[in-house]
Amino acid sequence: MTEQLLLTGGTGFFGRALLRHHLARNQEYRLPIVVLSRDPQRFQAAYPELSSCSGLRYLKGDIQNRASLPWGESFSHVLHAATDSTIGPSLTPLERYDQIVEGTRNILDLALATGARRFLLTSSGAIYGPQPADLAAIPEDWQGSPKIADPTTAYGQAKRAAEHLCALYADQHGLETVLARCFAFVGPDLPLNVHFAIGNFIRDALAADAITVYSDGTALRSYLGQSDLAHWLLTLLLRGRPGEAYNVGSDEVISIADLAHLVRDILAPVKPVHIKGLPDLTVCRNCYVPDILKIQRELDLRITLPLTESIHSVGSFYRVGGLIC
């Protein structure tokens, strides 16, 4: 059987990170990649550097439209990353749920039909629900979950359902499924004009009069660079233990206020930082940080790109290519 990887979501942030990493380190993985996209021509026109390479092929298809999927192809591996977190907030909760759950079911069926042995799902730390104040970092065996009756938790609920589908397909069909519970990231392909705080701060540093924090800035986050993200995902696809979930992210904690000042110090030292919100002492500090001991211990994966270098790289990328807001 031909060794070949199907990548869904190849035109989003995760996908572009994976494609750049693949092109830069092609000999390391030795897997030709087929990218599934709703509009391959448009993507290739926008990103020509990601379109002209041996071992890379684009197919037109939509994960929610079964008839459009490449049932006649042959794949050894599937990396399912087709959940667009940039447009997610514009969808209704039900639309977002359906996109994730129906799309995952379709791609699992496709994996079986095309002979795939390994399947990696990009899940999310949102499956854990709110992080308790006394838990510094969330481990994979944490039993928390989003509030089931709250429509705003549709994303986390859908990712939980998608994970369960992977378990069912592994049990019934023997498909080797691995789960990557992804947290927060930064890199040149991160959009600067949506709901990601670090992207907004970098945009402000490059193009605004001041860097604005619309919250009180006390929330705690951590950010993994996109090259590490790509390397970790590909390693999980190839070597992660079947049936296991792994947190993917950084455990280096920073407050949103400190993050805004760090971005300022690196990219625009003379600009002010405006924090609009006021702390609410009656509410526990919001925290979203993974425990990554499992992925470090089992697969020897490490953070190789410090947050400061990631911020530098994003600033350089947009300064050279032009800021698009």
Q: Is 285 exposed, middle or buried (0-12, 13-18, 19+ CB in 10 A)?
A: middle
Rounded mean pLDDT, 260-271: 97
Among 87-101, 141-155, 196-210, 223-237, the minimum mean pLDDT is found in 87-101
What is d(CA 193, CA 18) in angstroms, rounded to the nearest whole number? 21
Structure tokens belonging to residue 295: 């992925």
129: left (phi over 0), alpha (psi -120 to 50) or beta: left
- On the question of pLDDT at 291 being above 50, the answer is yes
| Structural domains of the chain sorted by starting position, each given as residue range(s) with its CATH number in brackets | 5-185+224-251+294-305 (3.40.50.720), 187-220+253-288+308-321 (3.90.25)
Amino acid (one-letter) located at 179: L
Rounded mean pLDDT, 38-64: 90
Sign of CA dihedral 198, 185, 21, 103: negative
List, for residues 117-145, the tens digit of each pLDDT value.
Answer: 999 999 999 999 999 989 999 999 999 99
Parallel/antiparallel/unpaired status of strands 254-255 and 220-221: antiparallel
Structure tokens belonging to residue 46: 């926008």
